[in-house]
Amino acid sequence: MHQWHPKRIVVPTDFSQQAMAGLDVAIRFAAESASRIFLIHVIDTTRLRPGRTLSLVRTQARKHLGRLCRMLHANGVDVVPLLEVGDPHQEIARAARAARADLIIMSGKTVNGRGGDTSRSVLTQAPCEVWNVRVKPMSFRRIRASVGRSIPVKAAG
């Protein structure tokens, strides 16, 4: 039986616990098949909260992306951070095309609060397969401890 091993995986994140579940699945692929992860955060300017400037949000997002990527790199995961501004579903699909991605892994209602609408929109525009992972999210601490080996994914419940 032939197993599919995606080599380029786009993983959208809003840095929530639910988004960590999608990253967890991507980490497993990366560990098993030397996949490159393109970790993307999209700043949706139509959803900026009062008092939060684009500059502030961009700075915070860079910090979070940098922390995640340093942790993954330190554990042997090939990861490329992507920070975009615009409509999340369009930017995710665009990033997948630019990366020549084999797979996009999304987690439930994770991308900038858009939830199912973003997942459906990405699915219609994506140049590759899109998986919407609905699993119990792992804490950042547990992901850090688990990087570099196969990680069991627990079903929500």
Query: How many CA atoms within 13 Å lie on the side-chain side of 94?
Result: 12
**Does 156 fall in a domain?**
no
What average pLDDT score do residues 83-90 get?
A: 93
Residue 136: the pLDDT is: 54
**Does 148 fall in a domain?**
no
Q: How confident is the model at residue 108 (pLDDT cuts 50, 70, 90)?
A: low
Range scoring the smallest mean pLDDT among 33-37, 90-94, 121-125, 141-145: 141-145
Residue 84 to residue 89: CA distance in whole angstroms: 11
Q: Is 113 left (phi over 0), alpha (psi -120 to 50) or beta?
A: left
**Does 138 fall in a domain?**
yes
Q: How confident is the model at residue 83 (pLDDT cuts 50, 70, 90)?
A: very high
Q: Domain of residue 125: give its range.
A: 8-142
Query: How many CA atoms within 13 Å lie on the side-chain side of 35?
Result: 29
Centre a 10 Å sphere on the Cβ of residue 129 and count the other Cβ atoms it contains. Answer: 15
Residue 152: the pLDDT is: 40
Q: Total structural domains in the chain?
A: 1
CATH number of the domain residue 104 falls in: 3.40.50.620
Q: What is the pTM of this model?
A: 0.78
**Does 2 fall in a domain?**
no
